[in-house]
Amino acid sequence: MGIVAGGILTLAVLAYIFWPDRNPFVQRAKTRADYLIERRDAVYENLRDLNFEYKAGKYPEEDYTTQRASLEDEAARILAELDTISR
């Protein structure tokens, strides 16, 4: 009885595994542009955090200006590369 139940379960599982999939989900390979967009979003997130913390009074003006400039440089480099790729 136990073996019979196991056999039925096996057949059901095999049918599920090898049932033809008419619309297989295909994923294209990740490109450099995809990667740069992720990096750009991360830098924007860092800028948002910096702005927020500055508004909250955590950093003095000089620290904020230096950090913001550094992050904007990083964003600009990424945007420039993205621009080159998309041309």
Partner 1 sequence: MNPQNIQAVAHPMPEFGSFCLLLALVLSVYTLVAGSLSLWQIAKSRAGRIAPEKLLETARRAGIGSFIAVVGAAVALVWAAFTNDFSVDYIRQHTNIALHPAYKFSALWSGQEGSLLLWAFLLTGYGFVLRVRHRVDVRLSAYASTILAGVQVFFLLLLNFAAPPFSIFQGAMPKDGNGLNPLLQYPEMVIHPPMLYLGYVGFSVPFAFALGALMMRYPGEKWIAITRRWTMVTWLFLTCGICLGMHWAYAVLGWGGYWGWDPVENASFLPWLTGTAFLHSVMMQEKRGMMKVWNVWLIFITFMLTVLGTLLTRSGIVSSVHAFAQSSIGSWFTTFLVITAVVCLFTFILQKDHLKSENRLESIVSRESSFLFNNLVLLAACFTVLWGTLFPVLSEFVQGSKVTMGAPFFNRVAVPIGLFLLFLTGVGPLLAWRSTSLKSIRRNFVLPCIAIIGAAVILMGFGVRPWKSAEAAGEIYSLLAFSLGAGVITAIAAEFLRGAGVVRTQTHKNLFASMLLLVRRNTRRYGGYIVHFGIVVLFIGLAGAAFNQSKELEMGFGDSVEVGGYKLVCQSYTQDSNPNYDTDYALLDVTRHGKKVMQLAPERRFYNASQTTSTIVAIHSTPLNDLYVVFEGRNPDTGKPILKFFLNPLVSWIWVGVAFVILGTLVALVPAIRPALASQRVRADEPALQEAVR
For partner 1, the binding residues (CB under 8 A) are 1-3, 5-6, 9-10, 13, 16-18, 21, 24-27, 29-30, 32, 34-35, 38-39, 42, 44-53, 55-60, 62-63, 67, 70, 72, 75
Burial of residue 78 (number of CB atoms within 10 Å: 0-12, 13-18, 19+): buried
Q: How far is the CB of 54 from partner 1 (least distance, A)?
A: 9
Contacts of 67 (CB under 8 A, 6+ apart): 50, 59
**56 vs 84, which CB is nearer to partner 1?**
56
